[in-house]
Structure 1
Amino acid sequence: MNKKQAYKQLLEFAKQTAGNSYSPYSKFAVGAAVLCENNKVFCGTNVENASYGLSMCAERVAVFTAVANGCKKIKAIAIYSEKGNVTPCGACRQVLSEFSKTADVVYNTGKNSFKTVKISSLLPKSFSGKTLKK
């Protein structure tokens, strides 16, 4: 399977997972699927809360699920929303960069189309724990 086919399939996993979204306040369902270095896939969806600060984005749910299952190297993440053209928020970009500075971010741009960008282009000069070490 080539990269384009793999990313199309990853986006399909994200789309399916978006159907599980708990978004009664925003009505904005998002699904994410993380492709790990070992080729395992972990999915997540956004989960809202009446106390908005306690809500969680789909991307972080997917990344945290991957980490909980032993994956700490991310090759790509696919993000799906029915509205299209949804990229990770700033917090999600920072979390993604923790596990890969070179991961591809795949997101749908229309009914059957998608775009791919590097996390490093979405979050140039990201904060790193290495900055803290002397």
Structure 2
Amino acid sequence: MHAQPEALAPYALVVDDDGLIRMDVVDILTEAGFRTFEAETGDKAITLLEREQKCIVLLFSDVQMPGSRNGFALARETAGRWPHISIVIASGNLKPGPDDMPKGAHFIGKPFSAETVHAHVKEVLPDGQKPDPLKN
């Protein structure tokens, strides 16, 4: 029995300064068929994106993080530099204002369930970028 080649699974970048939440989101996205990269800050996320943007199809980020970029700034910069990357932003404290998020990005309030994350990711990703478990 042969497993599918891993190259077929798309990558998601999970950005959250809270290690437990980051681990939870990684589990949720792995269950949905993604391979993942992780970063604790928006600054580390940009460094990772500069290196790995060709294989990343999804950015899932918290809003409030240490460093020079919060999640909204990270989302806007990602959309501007790498428009092929779909974006989901999550926060338990802040709601986005009119110009906080790039066009097409989704917002999820915390706490969230795996079902909520999967539903938003299915909506935000084009069909060709969805991992098999999220295809209808």
Q: Which has the higher contact order (CA 8 A, sep 6+)?
A: 2
**Fold equivalence (TM over 0.5):** no
- Greater fraction of residues in helix: 2
TM-score interval (norm. to shorter): 0.3 to 0.5
- The TM-score with structure 1 as length reference comes to 0.34
- The TM-score with structure 2 as length reference comes to 0.34
